[in-house]
Structure 1
Amino acid sequence: MRIIFFGSSTFSLPILSALLSSTYSVVQVVTTPDRRKGRGQKVLPSVVKIFAQEKGLPLVDPEKLSEPKIAETTRKLEPDFIVIGSYGKIVPHAIFKSPQVAALNVHPSLLPKYRGASPIQQAIIEGDSVTGVSIAEVTDQLDAGDLFGHVSTKIDEHENALELSSRLAQLAGTLLLGVLEKFLSKTVGRTPQDGSEATYAKKLDKGFGNIHWTKSVLEIHNQIRACVPWPSAFTSLYGKRVKIIKSDFLKEDARAEHKAGAIVDIVPNSGIHVQTGSGILILKQMQLEGRREMDGYQFALGQRLSKGDRFGGS
């Protein structure tokens, strides 16, 4: 079986690895072009491009998939399947209709829940206890195709988006091989999505990381988890930006009256306890701009913080 794989992120890698470990033939990898990244704005390839080159796989990284020659090249490869696993761009109709059997979308949510760009983060933001991976037919409507399989998994209340993405990617690779096997044995099932139950996960921007301390402790804790590794949750301290990397929480409020964002305690082996709109957030890992990451207690000592000092302004 001949497969063309579309992907561009770390989530893509275990899926592509699963295909390479099977008897299927990956006849081409399509990824996004090199981009400027990081503080130095160096031009860097996608992780999928690096991986594909290391494995000696046929690779293209077009700027636009809408160019007619891309669809023509795809057809000439005579793929049985197209597999899309976190590519980051819309694949045109002329391309996803080219395989002999099917074009499959590997999506990290339990569709029709959280269609769109940020399903892993959205599940954490909403405080969900369960999420999963779905494999759906690629159609002109985003993430709306018939379902060929899914797998679910629990979300730990302290698991961040990077950790959850890594687990889901491993599950996705195994699920994909199972679905492909069912296609070959002609036992695959097809379940239409119920559009009335669809929800959407919009793409996050840098501003989403800004912590508003008047929110509840669980809202902020989930925001911090969802923002790892990007866009990173942040607040301010004496006019400087502070990145919050890891947190915990106490659902009860401080005994004394404190404004949201105020430090109510600094505890060794715990962290900085901060009053929120409802509950106490424990800052466990953080980073002042231009400095190294450190645990909350050491941060407090280094910045000479004390009870009553306040993060942010809201």
Structure 2
Amino acid sequence: MRIVYAGTPEFAVPALQALLTSGHEVVAVYCQPDRPAGRGRKLTFGAVKQVAVDAGIPVEQPLSLKAPEEQHKLRTYAPDVMIVAAYGLILPQVVLDIPRHGCLNIHGSLLPRWRGAAPIQRAIQSGDAETGVTIMQMAAGLDTGDMLYKVVCPLNPDAGGQSIHDTLATQGATALLHTLDLLAAGTLQPEVQDETLTTYAHKLTKVEAQIDWTQSAAAIDRTIRAFDAYPVAFTLYEGQPLRFFASRSLSEIEGNAPPGTVIAESKAGIDIATGDGTVRILSLQLPGGKRLNAAQFLNGRSLLGVQF
């Protein structure tokens, strides 16, 4: 089939790479416009655009798909189907109707659980036992279309946002190719989403990344792991953000230290009292420093007795 692919960040790369080695023809790739990145604020290619450029595929980067001229351009590619993965732009109904088989979305959750912007992180933060990928027929609403195919991914107690992101990106690529096979064979069995089971995965913010030590150790641990790539959980230490990347929830409570107090430290980790239980910090970073494991961080310094 003739495919137009729409995606921008790393999550969308494996599916595009899979399509390029399949029997399908990727006739164009749509990405968000290049944006400044890094300290030099230079315009930088998104991950998907780089793959498309390397493969010699035409790249389109409209600010919006609402303009009639952009819709006309999409029609000239005569796509059988449009694949969307973390594209970042809203597709009007007129665009959804252009491809012969409509638009399919690779969504990082088991719909109808976690519609919206940050399904991977919210699943971890909420303590879900599993997540996954849903290939969905796109509709005008937010992640409201019929479900076409699902792949389940267990969420282990040490699962981090970045590792699950990478796993789902790879699973999404495999799921997409299988869905396209079913589409070509005419054997898809769309399933309508149960609206009573929906939850909304709000966009991540830096404000919510500041740890509230009165929460339980389990809740704090889940937030640290969920936010390990962005926005990264932190607490204030000597007026500066101390960032945490990996942790573990401990059920035992040592003494009656106020929440936020460092009650123990060793090569195994830095133990901090919470509103319920103890959270062990395994990886952390001072402002301007490198990300270190606990043993490296404690080499020549101590936090014992500090109250965040």
Under TM normalisation by the shorter chain, which class is it?
over 0.9
Which amino acid counterpart does residue 284 of structure 1 have in structure 2? L
User: Does 2:307 align with 1:310?
Assistant: yes
5 Å-filtered alignment, 1:107-146, equals 107-146=107-146
Matched, 1:82 2:79: no
Number of residue pairs matched by the alignment = 308
Give the 3 Å change call, closer, same or farther, for CA 6–218 of structure 1 in structure 2. same
How far is 1:299 from its partner? 2.0
Residues 130 and 155, structure 1, Cα contact 8 Å, conserved in 2 = yes
Q: Which whole-Å CA distance do the structure 2 matches of 1:260 and 1:143 have between them? A: 39
Please show how residues 58-77 of structure 1 align to structure 2 within 5 Å. 58-77=58-77
Which amino acid in 1 is paired with 2:34? D
Partners of 2:217 and 2:16 in 1: CA distance? 38
Q: Distance in 2 between matches of 1:302 and 1:54?
A: 47
Alpha-carbon distance in structure 1 between the residues aligned to 2:93 and 2:105: 13
Q: Measure, in 1, the Cα distance between the counterparts of 2:107 and 2:154.
A: 16
With over 3 angstroms needed to count, the CA separation of the structure-2 counterparts of 1:133 and 1:24, relative to structure 1, is same
With normalisation by structure 1, the TM-score equals 0.95
Aligned residue number for residue 206 of structure 1: 206
Do structure 1's residue 271 and structure 2's residue 269 form an aligned pair? yes
The range that moved more, 114-123 or 189-198, is: 189-198
Shift of 1:197: 1.3
Partners of 1:171 and 1:218 in 2: how far apart? 28
1:240 matched residue in structure 2: 240
2:278 aligned partner: 280
Q: Which runs of 5+ in 2 are unaligned?
A: none
Contact persistence 1:252–1:278 (CA under 8 A) = no
Q: Deviations over 1:16-60 (max 9, x none)?
A: 111111100000100011112344433222111111111111111
Question: RMSD between aligned alpha carbons?
Answer: 1.2
Match of 1:305, SS?
A: coil
Tell me the distance in 2 between the aligned counterparts of 1:31 and 1:168: 20
- Alignment correspondent of 2:261: 262
> What does residue 176 of structure 1 align with?
176
Residue identity in the other structure for 2:90: I
TM-superposition CA deviations, 1:136-186 (whole Å, max 9, x none)? 111111100111111111111111111001111111111111111111111
Cα pair 2:228 2:244 within 8 Å, conserved: no
Counterpart residue identity of residue 282, structure 2: K
Aligned: 1:102 with 2:99: no
Deviations 1:187-240 (A, max 9, x none): 111111111211110111111211111111111111011112111111111212
Q: Any unmatched runs of 5+ in structure 1?
A: none
**How far apart are 1:297 and its partner, in Å?**
3.3
Inter-partner Cα distance in structure 1 for 2:79 and 2:211: 47
Which deviations, in whole Å up to 9, do the C-alpha atoms of 1:95-130 show, x marking residues without a partner?
111001221011011111100000001100111111
- Measured at CA, do residues 39 and 249 of structure 1 come closer, stay the same or move farther in structure 2, by a change above 3 Å? farther
Structure 1 residues 39, 277: CA separation in 2 closer, same or farther (over 3 Å shift)? farther
Q: Compared with structure 1, are the counterparts of its residues 160 and 4 closer, same or farther at alpha carbon in structure 2 (3 Å cutoff)?
A: same
Q: Where does structure 1 differ by over 4 angstroms across 4 or more consecutive aligned residues? A: none
Q: Is the 8 A contact 1:266 1:297 kept in 2?
A: no
Distance 2:72 2:107 in 1: 26
